[in-house]
Structure formats: C-alpha cells, structure tokens
Chain A
Amino acid sequence: MNLMADILLNVIIAFLVGSVLFGLQRKIMARIQMRPGPPIIQHLLHTFKFFIKESAFPKTAAMPFYIAITAMLCAIWVAAVIVGPVTEGSLLLFFAIYALHKIVEHNAGSSSGSPYGKMSCVRAVFSAAAELPLFAVLIIIYLKTGTMNIGNIVTYQGHYGPLIWGIPLAAMMFFVLILSKAPYSPFAITKGKDIISGYETEHFGLLRGYLMISESIAWYMLLWVFLTVFIGGLSPIGYLIGMVLISALVALINATTPILNPNHSIMVQVSLAFIGVLGSIILLTVY
C-alpha cells in the first residue's frame, strides 16, 4: 500500500479505537461506581463536538504558540503512529516522542496564561522526574533482546515467547506509565480536578478538539507498544482484546483510587520504578 495511505489509515484507526476505548473506560468506571455512565461513544462525540464549537482565545495567551502547541501535540502522536504500526521502527524513537509529549504538555499549560495551566505546567515538569525510569525499561528490553527495533523485538518473541514472562517488572513499569496517562488515574496530576482540566483548561473549540484527537491516538499507541513489545505480534483481534482488557483494568484502578497528591504520585511512581529496575537487573542476572 502507498505509504501516505497507510499512515492515514493507521492514524484514523488509532483515533477511532483510542476514542472508543476512552469511552469504554468511562463506562466501566461509572458501572463500578454504581452509575449508568455515558454511552461508550461519548468521548468520540465530545471530540467531534469541539470542532463545531466557537473557538475563543484568552487575552493572556502567548500567540502563536498557544495555537501551534495543539498542532504539535497532534503531529508528535501522528509521528508515533508512523514509527509504530506503519514502519515498526525503533523503540528509541517512540520514547523520544513520549519525552516530547511531556514538553508539549508543559508548554500547553504555560502558553495560555491561566493559573491552572501554569500549575499543570509545573506538575508536568515535576512528573517528568518519575518517568525517567521509562528509559530504564528501554535498557532492560535492549539487554534482554539485543535490539530496539520493534520488528526485531516481535521476531525475538516469536522464538523465545512473550517478553512479559522474561521481564515482568519492566512490563509493570510500562503499565504504570500507561496508567499515568489515563484520565482520572491516581497519577494524572497534570489533569487533576483540583486544577480544573490542567493544561487543557484554556484551550477551547477547535484547539481542544485537536488535543482530544491527540490524546486518543496517544492512548491507542501506548497500548499498542505495550502489547507489541511485551506480548508480541498479535492479530488485529488480539490487539483489540488486549487493548480492551488493559483499558478495563485501568478503569478498575481509576474508579477505586483517588488522584494522588503530586508528591505522593511521584513517590509511588519512583518507588515502583526502583523496584522494577532493581528486580529486573536481578532477574536478568539470575536467568
């Protein structure tokens, strides 16, 4: 297939599946909390809704950065789709994109001039410290497989079985990262309800629509990378089942835990990462 068509196809699939999974997550959370909950299509409808709403720009916004940042967020996650399902490139590139996401999150918060956005921007920097162990995940994967190419990692798993059995603690660390990106999660301090919608507070209309598209693609991509790197080359149905199961598990955790105080959130993530890194090194040495 033509490369551009392949990219477009994968981006649309990522957006639609990511949106429906977010909707499913809200539905499961609602059922756990004994509420009927919104229809699972709700997140997608919200995204579309923002494209027909009026776009307003706050006086305090740092133009044109305030607008450009939404396009940047979209661009980096489209790039993630290209690195992931389209070309099955290097895992290192995917993590570089993830690091960029943190910077964009930070700048989206600071560009609006809103105190809530600024608070979220500070928290984005703060939480980045807890995501350094992510690079430890990369190193552990490299030490185990000898490659960072997603295609080669899948081939490796074809020969030796899923990596989740070989390096379970690295998978646990990656799962914590996925959890931290979910809305209402205990680690979602950049979008905690105490700061309204965090870095998105002052982005309305079209700009919010772009942010929501990016988030849906980001969710799909994080799940895709987890399933590909730790479980191996699955069929599309396998991916779908895996994504639904992880989303349901995340929803269960989110529904039963409060959003942590930023200090506690970082400490929990760092502690889990410390256990993960140390445990993985011991496991790699023993086996």
Chain B
Amino acid sequence: MDNQIIYLIYILSFVIGSIIGLVLSYKKYTEPFIKKNIDMVALILAIIGWILVLNNPLFMVIPYYITITIGVFLIALVIGMRPGYGRYETVIGFSVAGIIWIIRMGLT
C-alpha cells in the first residue's frame, strides 16, 4: 500500500479515536479531573496501544499498518479523554511499551 495512504489512515485513526475517547469519557465522568484516580480500563487500553505502536514487529502475523492503526486508535482513545483524564495512563502505557522496546533492541 502507498505510504501516504497509510499515514492518512493513521491520522484518521488518531482523530476518530480522540473523538470517541472524548465522547465516552464525558459519559463516564461527570465531574472534572479532581480525584486523580487511575482508570484501569484506560490503563489497559493505553498499554496495549503503545505496545502495538512501538513494538509492532512482535506481531509478525499481522501487517504492520494494521497493528499501528489499531495501536494509534487505542492511544487516541486514552489521550483524547476529557481534560486531565488519561494523563497518567498514557505515561504508564508509554513507559511499559518503551521498556519492552529497549529490551527488544537489546536482544536483537
């Protein structure tokens, strides 16, 4: 597939993910970000999303553009949550995926 089309798909995936994340988080949370709790569902989504994006060669069976598109969508779901929410989850998700990436680079 042409590279530019792939990048457009990633961008669309990010935009759609952000919009869905925003809508769902406003339904889930009726108050502003005061309690500063970590949302377990968002945390799992963020970890899976970042792993799919940063470590897509691990999933050799699936073409890389599909893995990254799904990953970007999941990342956007969490980043796109209403202001304040999803912040800690994103940092944790990125850190976990980053550690796996470093280990992977060290092994290869």
Question: Can you list, as one digit per residue, whether each of A108-149 has a CB less than 8 Å from chain B (1) or not (0)?
Answer: 000000000000000000000000000000000000000000
**Which residue of chain A is the closest to B4 with respect to CB atoms?**
A9
* Known contacts A1-B2, A36-B32, A39-B22; A16/B15 CB under 8 A: yes
Chain B contact residues: over half helix, strand or loop, or mixed?
helix
CA distance A16 to B82 in the complex (A): 20
Contact-residue bracket for chain A: 10 to 19
A39-74: CB near B (< 8 Å → 1, else 0) gives 111001100000000000000000000000000000
A17 within 8 A of B: yes
From the candidates B8, B15, B19, B32, name the one contacting A9 in the complex (CB within 8 A): B8
Q: Which residues of A contact B29 (CB under 8 A)?
A: none
Contact among B7, B22, B80, B83 with A236 in the assembled complex (CB-CB below 8 Å): B7
Are B4 and A13 in contact (CB-based, < 8 A)? yes
Cα–Cα, bound, A20→B18 (Å) = 10
A165 smallest CB distance to B (angstroms)? 28
Among B12, B33, B83, the residue within 8 A (CB) of A38 is: B83
Known: A9-B5, A13-B8. A39 touches B15 (CB 8 A): no
CB-CB contacts below 8 Å: B11-43 with A: 11-12, 14-15, 18-19, 22, 32-33
Choose from B11, B82, B84 the contact partner of A13 (Cβ within 8 Å). Answer: B11
Determine if B79 and A40 form an interchain contact, defined as CB atoms under 8 angstroms apart.
yes
Q: Which of A36, A41, A45 has the most CB of B within 10 A?
A: A41
**What size tier do the contact residues of chain B reach?**
20 to 34
- Does A44 contact B7, Cβ atoms closer than 8 Å? no
Evaluate contact between A40 and B7: CB separation under 8 angstroms: no
CB atoms of A45 and B19 under 8 A apart: yes
Q: Which B residues are in CB contact (< 8 Å) with A13?
A: 4, 7-8, 11
Q: Which of chain B's residues have a CB closer than 8 A to the CB of A38?
A: 83
With CB as the reference atom, state the residue of chain A lying closest to B83: A36
Contact A41 B80 (CB under 8 A): yes
A12 within 8 A of B: yes
A20-B14, A36-B84, A236-B3 known; A41+B19 contact, CB < 8 A: yes
What CA separation (Å) do A44 and B33 show in the bound complex?
23
Q: Judge whether A157 is part of the interface by a CB distance below 8 angstroms.
A: no
Q: Which residues of B contact A90 (CB under 8 A)?
A: none
The reply to whether the CB of A37 lies closer than 8 angstroms to some CB of chain B is yes
Contacts A9-B8, A20-B15, A36-B32 given; 17 further ones with Cβ under 8 A?
A1-B2, A10-B4, A16-B11, A17-B11, A20-B11, A36-B33, A36-B83, A37-B83, A38-B83, A39-B18, A39-B80, A40-B18, A40-B79, A41-B15, A41-B18, A41-B80, A236-B3
19 contacts between A and B (CB under 8 A): A1-B4, A10-B4, A12-B8, A13-B8, A16-B11, A16-B12, A20-B11, A20-B14, A36-B33, A36-B83, A36-B84, A38-B83, A39-B22, A39-B80, A39-B81, A41-B15, A41-B18, A41-B80, A236-B7
Interface residues of B (CB under 8 A from A): 2-5, 7-8, 11-12, 14-15, 18-19, 22, 32-33, 79-84
The 3 closest A-B pairs by CB, nearest first: A36-B83, A41-B18, A16-B11
